[in-house]
Copies of this chain bind each other. A is one copy, B any other.
Amino acid sequence: MSESTIPYKIYLKENDMPRQWYNMRADMKNKPAPLLNPETHEPMTAEELSAVFCEELVKQELNDSDRYIDIPREIRDFYKMYRPSPLVRAYCLEKKLATPAKIYYKFEGNNTSGSHKLNSAIAQAYYAKKQGLKGVTTETGAGQWGTALSMACAYLELDCQVYMVKVSYEQKPFRREVMRTYGAAVTPSPSATTAVGRRILAEHPGTTGSLGCAISEAVEAAASQEGYRYVLGSVLNQVMLHQSVIGMETKAALDQYKIVPDIIIGCAGGGSNLGGLIAPFMGEKLRGEKNYRFIAVEPASCPSLTRGRFAYDFCDTGKVCPLAKMYTLGSGFIPSANHSGGLRYHGMSSTLSQLYHDGYMEAVSVEQTSVFEAAKEFARVEGILPAPESSHAIRVAVDEALRCKESGEEKTIVFGLTGTGYFDMTAYEKFNNGEMHDYIPSEEELKRGLAGIPRFPGNE
């Protein structure tokens, strides 16, 4: 295929959009370890999980054998409103770097939630609606997930209650207003609306909240209202499944032009974007059909894969959720306030953790000033202002392309551009003013976090 025939943006036709999600777990020899009941340390049963998640999602959470799962028509119709997302050939970035590498990025920011989160939000809202539920509850930090869920619920006329970390609620009033415009009830967390919120407020009167606390409130709110369930935007197996639509589209677009990537790069917080982007490619690698390099990029200030421990740990700070086996920094670990944007979760998807543990994937950590440098360079030549999270992947894609420049190799690099930075201008302002600093947790600090990982038989 001659170079000049590859357009700037490859859009699939609507008819060519994926009709099934791909379930990586089906092809894994070492399956991700099951969630454990925090009290009994026994695997969570479908019944136990059904108290928290709606039934269809419980099935998906536990399903590690079906390779493909049909995407319901209603969800595919919703996907058509903002998908297929473009696979962009970064001609301008290549030229700027003067690299022989060919760089592509899958851009998930062309929807009002500003990120890929909508892919799973609509699926989770759809199954809740189908089960006849009244509404869902969730937590949000930076706000991308809360916005996505609000949009999905508005479309399906489902009630949506978002617990937003108080400091974000106050510092990001615009994010909050987008959610309200979509009809969500947004409560700053911790709040007096839940028992756990009242307890935390009494213990720490001046607290500005944390993601862990907001999760606890959202879970309690779901449990205490008839017809409500809790939903989550990352980490879970079901989320990896829904997000596989990113990778399926990417692969279909590349296949159309007979392009085979050498390296696939994604930022990693809880793993929803990375897991989705690499899914079908990882499937080929797991089945021994093809080989690819996969690189997870995490912030140096929250380095779960590169400096964490592979162990069973609590998913939330309140320790009320099931235990998951994952790379973790300990559920008490909180990244420095200095850190901008998302990718703040102390753990990592069990699926991705297992794949990393088994050597199918690499991981690197990068510092935020170098991330924003790459973001700014990218914005100027490619015309898209990237989210801080996505810019972690840009940083490493640029680094790999520059390596190609040195070696003269014409590698094909694909990375995930998960979203836009329109609601992150405070961080850009800091960077533009030279006031942004890096932060790498000390060994001492990490030890304190890791010490919180529970000890019980079977935890390595």
Contact = CB atoms under 8 A, between A and B. Distances in A.
A379 B182 contact: yes
Contacts of A428: 177-178, 180-181
Contacts of A432: 177, 180-181
Contacts of A422: 114, 174, 178, 422-423
A376 B80 CA distance: 20
Give the size category of A's interface with B.
35 or more
A383 B8 contact: no
Contacts of A80: 7-9
A288 interface: no
A385 B181 contact: yes
A439 to B, nearest CB: 22
A154 interface: yes
A429 interface: yes
A136 to B, nearest CB: 16
A385 B178 contact: yes
A207 B432 CA distance: 28
A380 B423 contact: no
Contacts of A14: 7-9
Given A9-B14, A110-B110, A422-B423, A382 B81 contact: yes
A155 B385 contact: no
A420 B382 CA distance: 19
A388 to B, nearest CB: 12
A457 interface: no
Contacts of A11: 11
A164 interface: no
Contacts of A9: 14, 80
Contacts of A426: 174
A151 interface: yes
Interface in A291-319: none
A51 interface: no
25 contacts: A7-B14, A7-B80, A8-B80, A11-B11, A81-B92, A81-B382, A82-B383, A92-B155, A111-B383, A111-B384, A112-B379, A112-B383, A112-B385, A112-B420, A155-B381, A155-B383, A173-B425, A177-B429, A178-B425, A178-B428, A180-B428, A180-B432, A181-B376, A183-B380, A422-B422
Q: What are the 7 tightest A-B residue pairs by CB atom distance, in nearest-first order?
A: A174-B425, A154-B380, A8-B80, A177-B425, A7-B14, A112-B385, A422-B422
